A and B are shown apart, each in its own frame.
Chain A
Amino acid sequence: MAVAQRQAAPALEGANPLTEGLERQPVAPTTLVIFGATGDLARRKLLPALYNLAHDGALPKRFHLVGVARRERAHEDYRAECEQAIRDFSRRPPDDDVLKGLLSNVKYVPGTFDDPTVYERIEKQLDGFESHAGEPLNRAFYLSTAPMFFPVIVEALGSAHLEHHEGAAVRVIIEKPFGTTLAGAEELNRRVLAIFDESQVFRIDHYLGKETVQNMMAFRFANGMFEPLWNRNYIDSVQITAAEDIGIGSRAAYYDAAGALRDLIQNHMLQLLCHVAMEPPASFTAEDVRNEKVKVLHSIPEPTAAEIPEMAVHAQYAAGHAGGETVPGYRQEQGVPADSKTETYAALRLEVENWRWAGVPFYLRTGKRLARKVTEIAVTLKPVPHLAFSAQGSLGVLPNQLVLTLQPNEGVSLKLGAKIPGTRMIIRPVNMEFLYGTSFLSQSPEAYERLITDAMRGDATLFTRNDEVEAQWHICDPIIDAWSHSSEELPQYEAGSQGPEQAAALLREGDSWRAI
């Protein structure tokens, strides 16, 4: 006789008992409105990400997309453009039925971003979806436009009363760059927060959506062996490198206005620094994680004009050789002014002045047209206090170095001293390697898949908060200002090299840059 099976009843109030154990948690019904819907980012990243979410069954139960861009085109024409973008850039070949289903929920609204009638037409589309659904749908406005339009769109959304929707959540997702100076970032924050509450604002730094960056938190806080060493008593220096072997390609207009420091250090590399230096958050919630990151940024003193030449180096690539070919210098690149003073290389030495890190230099460097493409964090430990076998010949003994590689081959490498086989106690450094790709079956989702889902779910953990952005600018702004007013000739480095010789001047005695 079968015994009646009585299950302990999970509480029906509060959390949804049906979501326990599911890898994909439900996302509330949402309409996503993309401003700049025909731009490069939308075509290459956002639309393919949305398709892949649909393919995996990870979109909300009701999902609609409204594309907004300047040029007049019919809904059908925009759908055809979406289909082409997905076919060109999706990480997997699209399933025709899923693609057709996704596109059937796409509408297009043409017009300029300052035109109030655009917002009336957007609202009409949103109302139409809701009428069909019979319930209020969450709204996410994705600003994938040139930065000059961010405040224009946000204020127009406010004027059209689209910043709030009864019975549903309204969110605004803002692409980088969030300001190009401290004053600009503060002004943008002021204008955005005059319309939206901070809890509604999702500032994208797509680096945070990368599995590799999220893995850093797992590495530090899920492994007991590193944290006891993770402080000034054992760590001698930290070096963060984001090197590219390519030039600026077709991005001259953007890049010449931005430069290396704004392009990578102000956002991505300071995020990496925060992940290395932050205290363990009490929980993996948006506020706890971001509070810890902001504390790190606040611990980095704002550079003074006198300090900047000692702690920051900038340079520009000259003609050289890359990949076996002769390549032009930055000023010879198409679209770059012949007298451009924009840096294509930037290196900083920062101090995190808190109990854990006082006295440990954090070296950051990034550049175009360097010897190799690599993004890594190298943590150098202090040398051992005494070598018992130094008399036997241990010149090869080097301090342990832990290298977290983010790309191209994500992994962790630990440099250890080992005895060379033979009769004498002679030591040389060897590497213990771990490659993430060898240990997982799954393919990493694209950063934008994760970030779009999180924004639709209202989880801001992987997004940059207003005070975080401003704290980043407090560090970078004085440097940009000093460089822009400098009358000195901008140092040059040969394309395909390790970067400018001047970068060595940042290093503390005994330190050296890792080979790129």
Chain B
Amino acid sequence: MPRNDAVWSASDTTPDAIEAAMRELLVQRHAENAAYVPARVLNMLVFVDDAWSGEVANRLRGVGRYHASRVIVLSFDPRRGRIDAQASIAADDAAPGELTLLRETVVVRIGPSHLDDLPTIADPLVVTDLPTLLWSPHGHTEEADTLIGLAQAALVDSIDEPVWRAAIERACSLSERVYVVDLAWLRSTPWRERIAGAFDSGRMRAELDEISSVRVRHHPSSTVAALLLVGWLASRLGWTTSETRAAQHDGGSRTLTGSATTGAGEVALELVAAPELAVPGLASVELATASELRLSLDRGEGGLRARQRERDGSERTWTLLGASRGESGILGEGIRQALLRDPTYRPALKSAQSMLPHTAAATAPSPTA
């Protein structure tokens, strides 16, 4: 659908002036067409390096209808001394008889002298009474921490952080203060749904007590995603998890191995990097039980390929249909999830934290990340 924007910009401006300009733009747009109505769902507050602001804007354009109703981008340039800003209110062309939602974007360009006052710059631009999602896609934890008081949720992607321990500890620390939406966790949603579905029948549910090994293959950058998946199983099934061991292989890939204890015994855990996987996330999950049942899920075209081997040795395969969401779909899902609450992430994160190996692998960047 064609899109049209109303744009305002100013140099050496103030947050109050930007906010007043936004209000004026809204009035203009409504006067232009009564079918234009402002969306009032979610503020998204983004802290980004000026050099990367274009890339972030492109990523946000890709989320389509999951665009936050107001996006406030604080774009940091270490050479900048004054505040410049651009505000735009975009609308799709209105169809007769239908309302068209307006989407608001404010880009505020700031420099080092503004870092101490970030909340006072962002606060006037945040629509009151709407939840606010904070996203700092390129680190900047210090700046993000100064802004966190304005937010109810923080968007992170734990696989972006090359040091696993830093990624998980950052997510743990944030989750003490706000609801954390972790894209690494959301990439595993279809896997978690399919595993839950596989064990939903009465016969299979009994096998949950019998799980004896879990093997997860993952993109080399996505060790944290694999840890979260195993952490999810552990936290949901009441396993006790502990430190894993890391092994480095030829070619730079790593394997984590360890175990969890359950009421019935031990579960062997293995997390293996899969360099052939072209996209971030998981490549396969294999679960085996003490009763010699094996279930594996592999990434495939049009969904996940399931293979189940029964204790009598018979084997069946089928496809669990589902379209890939792509990276822009994952980001859109992350924005949508800011309005929901998943009570299982934090326990999974805590389990993942307990499985971090005490070796350089967890504290040094992954070579393939």
Contact with B along A440-480 (1 / 0, CB 8 A): 11110000000000000000000000000000000000000
Q: Mark B194-206, 1 if CB is under 8 A from A, else 0.
A: 1111111100010
Beta-carbon contacts under 8 Å, B54-81 to A: 65-69
Bound-complex Cα distance A408 to B97 (A): 8
Whether A21 pairs with B344 at a CB distance below 8 angstroms is yes
Task: Identify the closest chain A residue to B335 (Cβ).
Answer: A441
Bound: A24/B194 CA distance, A: 10
Shortest CB distance B345–A (Å): 8
Write out, one digit per residue, whether chain A residues 408-433 have a CB within 8 A of any chain B CB (1) or not (0).
11000000000000000000000000
Q: Contacting A5 at CB < 8 Å: which of B40, B314, B342, B350?
A: B350
Task: Give the residues in chain A near B37, CB-CB below 8 Å.
Answer: 435, 437-438
B32 at the interface (CB under 8 A from A): no
With a cutoff of 8 Å between Cβ atoms, the chain A residues found around residue B306 in the complex are 61
Choose among B40, B199, B236, B301 the residue that contacts A439 (Cβ–Cβ < 8 A).
B40
Q: Is the CB of A442 within 8 A of B336?
A: yes
In the complex, A26 has a CB within 8 A of chain B: yes
Chain A residue nearest to B310 (CB atoms) is A134
Is A71's CB within 8 Å of the partner chain B? no
Q: A2-B356, A2-B358 are in contact. Are A62 and B318 (CB under 8 A)?
A: yes
A484 in the interface (beta carbon within 8 A): no
**B42 at the A interface (CB under 8 A):** yes
Q: State whether B196 touches A16 (Cβ < 8 A).
A: yes
Chain B binding surface SS class: mixed
Q: Mark B286-327, 1 if CB is under 8 A from A, else 0.
A: 000000000000000111001000100010101111111000
Residues of A within 8 A of B209 (CB): 12
Q: Choose among A7, A24, A28 the residue that contacts B240 (Cβ–Cβ < 8 A).
A: A7
Asked if B192 is an interface residue, CB under 8 A from chain A, the answer is yes
Contact indicator per residue, chain A 20-33, by CB within 8 Å of chain B (1) or not (0): 11111011100000
Interface 1/0s, chain A 66-104, versus B by CB < 8 A? 000000000000000000000000000001011111100
Docked pose: A408 CA to B201 CA in angstroms:
41
Checking A17, A57, A443 against B190 with a beta-carbon cut-off of 8 angstroms, the contacting residue is: A57
B242 touches A26 (CB 8 A): no
Does A282 count as interface, using CB distance less than 8 angstroms? no
Give Cα A22–Cα B316 distance, bound, in whole angstroms.
26
A57 to B194, CA, bound (A): 9
A8–B12 Cα distance when bound, in Å, is 55
Evaluate contact between A16 and B353: CB separation under 8 angstroms. Answer: no
Residue of B nearest to A19 (CB): B196
Complex: A88 Cα to B204 Cα, angstroms = 39
In angstroms, Cα B322 to Cα A99, docked, is: 10
Known: A2-B353, A61-B194. A101 touches B200 (CB 8 A): no
Interface presence of B279 (CB below 8 A) = no
CA distance A99 to B42 in the complex (A): 34
Contact, CB under 8 Å: B342 / A61:
no
CB of B235 closer than 8 Å to a CB of A: yes
Kindly list chain A residues whose C-beta atoms are within 8 Å of the C-beta of B324.
95
Q: Which residues of A contact B83 (CB under 8 A)?
A: none
In the complex the two chains form, what is the Cα distance from A361 to B335 in whole Å?
45
Q: Does B88 contact A (CB under 8 A)?
A: no
Q: Whole-angstrom distance between the alpha carbons of A57 and B345 in the complex?
A: 20
By a CB distance below 8 angstroms, the chain B residues around A5 are 234-235, 240-242, 350-351, 353-355
Task: Choose from B41, B235, B321 the contact partner of A54 (Cβ within 8 Å).
Answer: B321
What CA separation (Å) do A97 and B321 show in the bound complex?
9
Given A2-B353, A21-B342, verify A59-B321 contact (CB < 8 Å).
yes
Contacts of B116 in A (CB 8 A): none
Q: Which of B199, B239, B355 contacts A18 (CB 8 A)?
A: B199
Number of chain B residues whose Cβ lies closer than 8 Å to a Cβ of chain A = 72
What residues on A are CB-neighbors of B238 within 8 Å?
6-10, 12
Interface hits, A15-56 → B, CB 8 Å:
16-24, 26-28, 54-56
Judging by beta carbons under 8 Å apart, are A95 and B302 in contact?
yes
The answer for the CA separation of A259 and B198 in the assembled complex, in Å, is: 48
Q: Check B99–A61 contact: CB distance below 8 A.
A: no
Residues of B within 8 A of A359 (CB): none
**Least CB distance, A347 to chain B, in whole angstroms:** 25
Is B251 interfacial (CB 8 A cutoff)?
no
User: Whose C-beta in chain A lies nearest to the C-beta of B69?
Assistant: A438
Q: Are A7 and B99 in contact (CB under 8 A)?
A: no
Bound Cα distance from A4 to B41, whole angstroms: 40
Q: Please indicate the chain B residues that have their CB under 8 angstroms from the CB of A438 in the complex.
A: 37-41, 69, 99, 101
B347 located at the interface, meaning its Cβ lies under 8 Å from any Cβ of chain A in the complex: yes
Instruction: Chain B residues near A6: list those with CB within 8 A.
Output: 238, 240
Contact present for B314 and A134 (CB under 8 Å): yes
Q: Which residue of B lies closest to A411 (CB)?
A: B99
Q: Is the CB of A26 within 8 A of B41?
A: no
A100 to B323 Cα, complex, angstroms = 11
CB contacts (< 8 Å) of A2 on chain B: these are 242-243, 353-356, 358
Which residues 328-369 of B sit at the A interface, judged by CB distance below 8 A?
A: 335-336, 339-340, 342-345, 347, 350-351, 353-356, 358
Q: Which residues of B contact A22 (CB under 8 A)?
A: 189, 192-193, 196
Closest to B316 in A: A134
- In the complex, whether A358 has a CB less than 8 A from a CB of chain B is no
- B237 close to A (CB within 8 Å): yes
| Interface assignment of B208: CB less than 8 Å from any CB of chain A | yes
On chain B, the residues within 8 Å of A60 by CB distance are 197
Partner of B193, one of A26, A98, A101, A135: A26
Taking CB atoms, residues of chain B closer than 8 Å to A1 are: 243, 358
Known: A22-B196, A26-B196, A61-B198. 17 other contacts (CB 8 A): A4-B240, A5-B354, A7-B236, A19-B196, A19-B200, A20-B236, A24-B193, A55-B322, A57-B321, A98-B321, A101-B302, A101-B319, A439-B40, A440-B41, A441-B336, A442-B65, A442-B336
Which 10 A-B pairs give the minimum distances between C-beta atoms? A9-B238, A57-B322, A97-B302, A5-B354, A21-B344, A26-B197, A18-B196, A26-B200, A101-B302, A95-B323
Query: 11 A–B contact pairs at CB < 8 A?
Result: A5-B242, A7-B238, A7-B351, A18-B236, A57-B194, A57-B321, A97-B301, A98-B302, A437-B37, A438-B101, A441-B68
